[in-house]
């Protein structure tokens, strides 16, 4: 059994209250006794029981972070960002993965809200009605990470998917002169994916380019799906001269297929992506893509959460939109 303040109190011949105060460095304890207690605690190898303290203080000093996945090229950067800020503010971070499953989310979210954390940052591929209700009911401070803001009452931070997709498409057209641009979509259920598609379409439209449905194929953000999509596009009779993949992973899939077909990027076909994951820098030729500052998202989310937790009365929910940038590689 761990040792408790009671035992220290006995040895020091004081009450547990005094021990508690001394340990918390209260100014109203005589220096001598404080010192005595401190030494005793040290000797006895005392370490306070967090759970007990939490029970009475109602504060854990832990913030929770729920992500669809914890591995990959993208999520770890978010974790890093959140971790950085919470660490600076003396909070511990509790990371959990929802395993991309809906029903796991509420289990975890429930768990966290059961007084295990002081606040939660939640990132979901998309939000079901069920989750939406859950989120609204949760009493602890919460910040959403997403590329769209569909819950007014809950603060969020996200990137501007539309703008990012629009600008890289526009770049392809205006600066590089491509007119035949195909698009590999993300999953329909993913809100970010839908916005990127919108951005792509809008850019075409604004440049008076007709949208060719044959050139819009579905992917699911994995390398594999990028490969499939690329093979399909490149075996069309009327091939596109450029492919815009809705994320870098799928762009990487394109690279593989293009390579396997003995073609060259960008000579035979241009490829651009979205996310600017570390890998994109290593593709050769280097990928032109939309920079999504994942660590910045994490930092902003953490800051926002801390801000909410710090303010007594519920402040008005904020929605922060982080803008993307263009990374010019050699793939177009």
Binding residues for a copy of itself (CB under 8 A): 2, 45, 47-52, 54-55, 60, 69-73, 75-77, 79-80, 83, 87, 92-97, 99, 108, 110-111, 113-116, 137, 139, 252, 255, 259, 278-279, 282-284
- For residues 72, 150, 296 and 302, what is the CA-based torsion angle, rounded to 10 degrees? -100
Choose among a copy of itself, DNA, none what residue 30 binds, the Cβ cut-off being 5 to 8 Å by kind.
DNA
Choose among a copy of itself, DNA, none what residue 83 binds, the Cβ cut-off being 5 to 8 Å by kind.
a copy of itself
Closest to 233 measured CA to CA, from 212, 202, 248: 212
Query: By CB under 7 A, what part of segment 16-55 binds DNA?
Result: 16-18, 20-21, 23-24, 28-34, 48-49, 52-53, 55
CB of 136 to DNA, least distance (A): 21
Q: Token pair 């990028």 is at which residue?
A: 226
Measured from the Cβ of residue 162, the count of other Cβ atoms closer than 10 Å reads 21
Q: Provide the angle, in degrees to the nearest 10, between the axes of the packed helices 294-310 and 75-88.
A: 40
Choose among DNA, a copy of itself, none what residue 79 binds, the Cβ cut-off being 5 to 8 Å by kind.
a copy of itself
When the beta carbons of 216 and 309 are compared against DNA, the nearer one is 309
When the beta carbons of 53 and 102 are compared against DNA, the nearer one is 53
When the beta carbons of 113 and 149 are compared against a copy of itself, the nearer one is 113
CA count, 13 A, side-chain hemisphere, 54: 12
CB of 65 to a copy of itself, least distance (A): 9
d(CA 136, CA 134): 5
Sign of CA dihedral 70, 72, 77, 80: positive
**Is 224 one of the binding residues for DNA (CB under 7 A)?**
no
**Which of helix, strand or coil describes residue 55?**
helix
């Amino acid at each position: 059994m761990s040792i408790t303040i009671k035992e220290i109190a006995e040895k020091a011949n004081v009450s547990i209250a005094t021990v508690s105060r001394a340990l918390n460095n209260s100014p109203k304890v005589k220096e001598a006794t404080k010192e005595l207690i401190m030494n005793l605690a040290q000797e006895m190898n005392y370490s306070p029981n967090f759970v007990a303290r939490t029970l009475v203080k109602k504060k854990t000093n832990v913030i929770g972070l729920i992500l669809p996945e914890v591995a990959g090229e993208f999520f770890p950067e978010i974790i890093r960002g959140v971790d950085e800020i919470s660490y600076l503010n003396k909070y511990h971070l509790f990371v959990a993965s929802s395993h991309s499953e809906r029903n796991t989310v509420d289990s975890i979210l429930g768990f966290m809200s059961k007084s295990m954390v002081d606040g939660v940052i939640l990132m979901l591929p998309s939000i079901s009605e069920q989750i939406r209700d859950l989120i609204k009911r949760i009493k602890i401070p919460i910040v959403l990470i997403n590329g769209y803001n569909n819950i007014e009452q809950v603060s969020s931070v996200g990137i501007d998917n539309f703008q990012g997709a629009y600008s890289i498409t526009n770049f392809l057209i205006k600066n590089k002169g491509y007119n035949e641009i195909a698009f590999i979509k993300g999953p329909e259920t993913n809100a970010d994916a839908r916005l990127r598609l919108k951005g792509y379409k809008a850019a075409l439209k604004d440049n008076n380019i007709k949208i060719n449905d044959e050139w819009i194929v579905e992917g699911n953000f994995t390398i594999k799906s990028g490969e499939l999509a690329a093979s399909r596009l490149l075996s069309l009779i009327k091939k596109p001269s450029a492919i815009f993949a809705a994320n870098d992973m799928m762009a990487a899939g394109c690279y593989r297929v293009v390579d396997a077909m003995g073609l060259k990027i960008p000579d035979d076909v241009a490829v651009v992506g979205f996310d600017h994951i570390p890998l994109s820098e290593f593709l050769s030729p280097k990928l032109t893509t939309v920079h999504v500052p994942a660590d910045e998202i994490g930092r902003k989310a953490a800051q926002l959460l801390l801000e909410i937790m710090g303010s007594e009365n519920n402040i008005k929910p904020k929605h922060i939109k982080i803008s993307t940038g263009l990374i010019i590689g050699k793939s177009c």
